[in-house]
Structure 1
Amino acid sequence: MKRLALATLCALTLGAVQAEGPAPSYDLVIRNGRVLDGLGNPWINADVAIANGRIAAVGKIAERGRKEIDARGLYVSPGWIDMMDQSGEVLRTEGRAENKLLQGVTSAIAGEGGTPVAAEEIPAYFAQLERQGISLNFGSYYGTAQARVAVMGDGAGEPTPEQLEKMKSLVATAMRGGAVGVATALIYPPDSFQSTRDLIELSKVAASCGGIYASHMRDESANLLSAISESIEIGEQAGIPIEIFHLKGAYQPGWHQLMPQAVAQVDAARQRGVDIAADMYLYEAGGTGLEITVPSWVWEGGFKQGLKKLESRKVRERLKREVAGGSLPGWSNLVHASGGWDRVVLANAYNPKYERFHNRSLAAIGKELGKDPADVAWDIVIEAQPHRAMALFFMMDEKDIETALRTPWVSLGSDASASEKLNATDALGLPHPRSYGNFPRLIAEYVRKRGVLTLPDAIRKLTSWPATRMRQFDRGAIRTGLWADITVFDYDRIQDRATYQNPTATPEGIQYVLVNGQVVVSEGRHTGAKPGVALKNSGCAKDPADART
């Protein structure tokens, strides 16, 4: 009893002494970490102090923080940036983005398909995200196809001069509303119906606001080099930086050939002053809607009419010949690029009838059902409506991934959405391991295991380079005065656990994640905090509608 009383007295005395001491100088201090500044420099032993959401001091810090994290034996880096996110819609209803934060991601740039709202609604959209709360920082491109569909629908055809002017006006509105640039997904209709000339004209408007032209190019397989040439032409003619989404050599017959040529092509463009770069994910399989296996001419009258055409036996016979024959003008044949239907895997049919076939190839499904794999694929596309049936296309090779990753101008983008619930498929409905593993995989697989990159350079690709690329000069580095987006990880334990068979397994080794100075992940668990902000373009020095040919 006396011992208990003495312990209580000591505890009270300690509390009194602490209360009488100087007030904490900082909101939070991360102590004893191996600090990687994000700029490619080796780590140093240092403390990092944070106040009012920003990095207040780096070095040996004697003053206390209201909260303190002991990072002894851990690495402290700037927060990681997802350069090709797909969370624009889901963040409106679920802002925690747990599968992103648990990977160390603190900022995400979305918009391959544009914003989930019309151009004039973008300011209200960003305001809604901040009002409701999001756990990471978030920016978005506006889709050139959004403008096109708003003006002339989802069918094929060239816009009239008047229609093109209306599209330019919508791009101007989007840029004034905070879009970081314009984006295209030229492999998919109706994006694929846009001409290079139209894209140049729309990009000129975005360029007048300091925006970027980002593109899922027309072809990432057999015609990869010509697709890069088109992107370069758009950049040069419009005077706009170019970001190639998910750079890949997605063509089995061209493995180990196309990617080195693509890297050389981009290097040559950069040497002559073209501001072009790329991002990528670190997997051999791409993932997208199964409707991509249908040649684009089917969709020229719009998607609904295309579905009706797809029901025709006569149309299907023609389509099968075209799929077997390779790519067509305006259509990239991902079946051929993958090496056949046995390398196209059903991921999500949105139909109980086909659930037992998930994670099996279309060739195997066709054999079991006694049907042509093409008929199986297209039946699934039709029967999934109004949802989008999803598939994995095993088109890439690890050697090409390493080649691209070694280039200094490549960053990382997941091409994945936040999930509504942890350990659930992302909001796109695509069960792909990139949704839960892309960022820790860079360190676990390509730094620690294979030695493709050094740790400082890997961190640079995740932090200062994408921040610089997106003109977010107040983020991406451990420097006094910058926003305190910080990822703390255990190098020995960091591991992506998501696989094609178990794509929603969360990674290990990400200990703490801070967004704007607030702890969002603590000891590997999401805290529920939502301190994220909208990353908006603010470069409109003049009215972008004034950008003319």
Structure 2
Amino acid sequence: MPSKIYQGITTEITGEGDSVAPLDDRIVKNNQAGYDHLGITPTWRTLNEYFARLEKQGIGINLGTYVGAASVRRMVLGDDDVQPTPAQLKQMQELVARAMRDGAMGLSTALQYAPAPYATTNELIALAQTASRYGGIYATHMRDEGNDEFNALEEAFRIGREARIPVEIFHLKAAGKANWGTMPKIIDAIERARTDGVDVSADTYAYTAWGNSLASIVPPWAHAGGDDKLIARLKDAKTREQIKQYILDPSKDNQWNNEWKEAPGPDGILVTSVGNPALRPLQGRRISDIGREWHEDPLDAALDILLKDDAATSVAVFGMDQADVITVLKQPWVSVCNDSEGTEPSGILGQAHPHPRAYGTFPQIIHKYVEQQHVLTLPEAIRKFTSLAAQRMGLTERGVIKVGMYADVVVFDPAKVRDTATFERPNQLAEGMDYVIVNGVPVIADGKMTHTLPGKVLRGPGYASANHQE
């Protein structure tokens, strides 16, 4: 994973909301286009089987994962907007328990992305209680990060209290121009919860634009049944008009985080990656520009992109304020996340056009926020990159340099570290990492990739290798 190691990443915890397992044949079929694009045959169905495959083939960095609540929901309920029966909820809890025994780090949710919004708080508490019994944490992309963020925070706190589980808030932000400047109040709410005994922390990637699916501008009810149903609704003129009205009038559903308004506007949404090769000329362009070229209203252009791309389009949304980003970064309980897939400038992966954080998250913080702006000291930045994150994940043998610990070590001159990726040209490796060592083996030496695969699968506290029977 060149995009990771060139910015000094030695360990990745993945699985935000969805996870690589559990799988069944129906989910595999629904995901087949993605597997085909990458040349992957998904031979695994459980997390343990996936880990075994990674260990057999080798990996460049250490990797652990959460079990995604949406994956568990899909296994039992599919993509429909339905509620589980008591028996189905028990099935979902059993899937969480199995994943925790296989080595999941905890339970994760991404509550803005279908089918996750269909889950009630009580459903999430039940699943989190299962993860808690195995020593896991609850990590969440909250139900709202904008107009209704304080209610979303309260939901996360409630899950933590009632499930008796630590809470990690993925990429804490105040989304949408109407909410800029509210971060101090958000921080106060989290501090009060911490004082009241909720073990809650957060992370950030420290950019003012977030990455998302373009389909996220469409309200959750239009996603019910999966992408095929969404495409069918967009093709139906009457339903498409209803979707447009919901997008333009978010007051109809206060629980829906309307990114079209939060951007703000079509000039604040940039197409990053597409699935349809014919649409690649759109990558790196704003929705407003595409609408003008197509002689369409920008919202119609956005919906047409979804139709032509089978809802596979990713975008960057410029919806955060720089002062809020700095406020988050400075909190002592906030670590740093990458929030991006592993990629590289060439080959199949190089055809995509990711958010520049894919290549530049950690170097940007060193160059911009440590060396230039002095928002953080270098030791504090390193703590947020390493020991703070490792401690949060229970990785007691990693995250610090000490005799007897795993040798995950990065050697660099901070004055030479640069993030070169931009929103217009993201596929550019970071500069300045002289050595990146994973488990004692260099994956970068003298600034060049060695192509070694010394990474290890990292299993969470529920995994007991001595009596693992799966």
TM-score, normalized by length of structure 1? 0.78
Give the match for residue 319 of structure 1: 243
Give the match for residue 328 of structure 2: 404
CA deviation after TM superposition for structure 1 residue 215, in Å: 0.9
Tell me which of 365, 370, 379 is aligned to 1:456.
379
157 and 429 in structure 1: CA distance in 2 versus 1, 3 angstrom threshold: farther
Give the match for residue 104 of structure 1: 8
**Separation in 2, partners of 1:447, 1:380:** 39
509 and 170 in structure 1: CA distance in 2 versus 1, 3 angstrom threshold: same
Give the match for residue 15 of structure 1: none
Asked if residue 339 in structure 1 is aligned to residue 264 in structure 2, the reply is yes
540 and 532 in structure 1: CA distance in 2 versus 1, 3 angstrom threshold: closer
Asked if residue 286 in structure 1 is aligned to residue 243 in structure 2, the reply is no
Give the match for residue 299 of structure 1: 223
Give the match for residue 460 of structure 2: 537
Query: Where in structure 2 are the equivalents of 1:349-498 lying within 5 Å?
Result: 349-351=274-276, 353-385=278-310, 388-419=312-343, 421-423=344-346, 429-498=352-421
CA deviation after TM superposition for structure 1 residue 135, in Å: 1.1
**Separation in 1, partners of 2:349, 2:396:** 30
CA deviation after TM superposition for structure 1 residue 488, in Å: 0.4
Q: Deviations over 1:372-395 (max 9, x none)?
A: 21221111112112x611111111
**Separation in 1, partners of 2:280, 2:463:** 49
SS in 1 for 2:320: coil
- For the 8 Å contact 2:283–2:353, the answer to whether it is kept is no
Gaps of 5+ in 1: 1-96, 542-549
SS in 2 for 1:243: strand
TM-score, normalized by length of structure 2? 0.90
Asked if residue 184 in structure 1 is aligned to residue 109 in structure 2, the reply is yes
Q: Deviations over 1:276-326 (max 9, x none)?
A: 111111211111111111111112244322221111222222222222223
Q: Letter of the aligned partner of 1:334 in structure 2?
A: E
Tell me which of 522, 527, 530 is aligned to 2:450.
527
201 and 313 in structure 1: CA distance in 2 versus 1, 3 angstrom threshold: same
Structure 1 or 2: larger strand share?
Answer: 1
CA deviation after TM superposition for structure 1 residue 396, in Å: 0.8
Q: Deviations over 1:160-196 (max 9, x none)?
A: 0010011011111010010111111100110111110
SS in 1 for 2:109: strand
Give the match for residue 499 of structure 1: 422
511 and 100 in structure 1: CA distance in 2 versus 1, 3 angstrom threshold: same
- For the 8 Å contact 1:350–1:389, the answer to whether it is kept is yes
Asked if residue 166 in structure 1 is aligned to residue 70 in structure 2, the reply is no
SS in 2 for 1:348: coil
504 and 353 in structure 1: CA distance in 2 versus 1, 3 angstrom threshold: closer
Give the match for residue 33 of structure 2: none
- For the 8 Å contact 2:269–2:286, the answer to whether it is kept is yes
- For the 8 Å contact 2:148–2:254, the answer to whether it is kept is no
425 and 286 in structure 1: CA distance in 2 versus 1, 3 angstrom threshold: farther
Q: Deviations over 1:13-40 (max 9, x none)?
A: xxxxxxxxxxxxxxxxxxxxxxxxxxxx
Kindly report the root-mean-square deviation, in angstroms, between the aligned alpha carbons of the 2 structures: 1.8
SS in 1 for 2:139: strand
SS in 2 for 1:519: strand
Q: Letter of the aligned partner of 1:110 in structure 2?
A: T
Give the match for residue 48 of structure 1: none
**Separation in 2, partners of 1:198, 1:142:** 15
- For the 8 Å contact 2:61–2:453, the answer to whether it is kept is yes
Query: Size of the alignment, in residue pairs?
Result: 442
Q: Deviations over 1:383-440 (max 9, x none)?
A: 112x611111111111111000000111111111111x44568589452100000011
**Separation in 1, partners of 2:257, 2:347:** 30
CA deviation after TM superposition for structure 1 residue 233, in Å: 0.6
- For the 8 Å contact 1:285–1:395, the answer to whether it is kept is yes
Identity among equivalent pairs (%):
41
SS in 2 for 1:331: coil
CA deviation after TM superposition for structure 1 residue 338, in Å: 1.2
Tell me which of 232, 246, 255 is aligned to 2:180.
255
Which segment drifts farther, 247-256 or 199-208? 247-256
Work out which of the two has the higher radius of gyration on C-alpha atoms and give 1 or 2.
Answer: 1
- For the 8 Å contact 1:349–1:380, the answer to whether it is kept is no
**Separation in 1, partners of 2:350, 2:111:** 22
SS in 2 for 1:492: helix
- For the 8 Å contact 2:273–2:353, the answer to whether it is kept is yes
- For the 8 Å contact 1:423–1:505, the answer to whether it is kept is no
330 and 300 in structure 1: CA distance in 2 versus 1, 3 angstrom threshold: farther
Gaps of 5+ in 2: 24-44, 465-470
**Separation in 2, partners of 1:350, 1:121:** 27
**Separation in 2, partners of 1:486, 1:357:** 39
SS in 1 for 2:422: coil
- For the 8 Å contact 1:423–1:506, the answer to whether it is kept is no
Asked if residue 275 in structure 1 is aligned to residue 179 in structure 2, the reply is no
Q: Letter of the aligned partner of 1:281 in structure 2?
A: Y
430 and 286 in structure 1: CA distance in 2 versus 1, 3 angstrom threshold: farther
Give the match for residue 23 of structure 1: none
295 and 484 in structure 1: CA distance in 2 versus 1, 3 angstrom threshold: same
**Separation in 2, partners of 1:318, 1:183:** 32
**Separation in 2, partners of 1:164, 1:443:** 45
Asked if residue 232 in structure 1 is aligned to residue 157 in structure 2, the reply is yes
Q: Deviations over 1:71-110 (max 9, x none)?
A: xxxxxxxxxxxxxxxxxxxxxxxxxx11101110000000
Asked if residue 510 in structure 1 is aligned to residue 433 in structure 2, the reply is yes
**Separation in 1, partners of 2:77, 2:244:** 30
- For the 8 Å contact 1:424–1:504, the answer to whether it is kept is no
- For the 8 Å contact 1:111–1:140, the answer to whether it is kept is yes
352 and 484 in structure 1: CA distance in 2 versus 1, 3 angstrom threshold: closer
Structure 1 or 2: larger helix share?
Answer: 2
411 and 426 in structure 1: CA distance in 2 versus 1, 3 angstrom threshold: farther
Which segment drifts farther, 523-532 or 450-459? 523-532
Q: Deviations over 1:195-228 (max 9, x none)?
A: 1000000000000011011111111111111111
**Separation in 2, partners of 1:116, 1:540:** 17
SS in 1 for 2:46: helix
